[in-house]
Amino acid sequence: MISNVTVSSSISASISHVWESWTNPKHIVKWNFAHESWKCPAATNNLFPGGDFSWRMEAVDGSMGFDYAGKYIEIEDHAFILKQLNDGREVSITFEVMGDEVLLSEIFEIEHENSAEQQRMGWQAILDNFKRYTEQWYSSNN
């Protein structure tokens, strides 16, 4: 049985800034970690159906790390991304413009090493970090 978890956040920025921050490796490395004890030292992102992505996540102290990697299945610019992780799980991301904000929602299939709640909390923390970074970047460029 496949179980899904949803995380979401409203970002106070234009859809073009939210999309750019989510998809451009120069931005991904600045927000793609759940806690300050982690970092994202490298990211590649070939944003087209069949294109691959790999976002390296590492503990700052070097004690552990992993690649969040896979292939894109479907992309609708500024609206929707469907990707498959290397372990076969799927992740869908929607970008919904709501006035002056963008509601970004991720639905992901859980893995079975950690509890669904632990995974939800981790993915939400990364999304919260994305929100902080993107809103700061947006406000400094407008």
Mean pLDDT of 66-72: 96
pTM, two decimals, is 0.94
Q: Where are the alpha helices (DSSP H) in 8-115?
A: 15-23, 25-31
pLDDT, tens only, 24-68: 999 999 999 999 999 999 999 999 999 999 999 999 999 999 999
Angle at 95 between CA 89 and CA 97, to 5 degrees: 165
Topology (CATH) of 4-140: Alpha-D-Glucose-1,6-Bisphosphate; Chain A, domain 4 (3.30.530)
Q: List the chain domain ranges.
A: 4-140
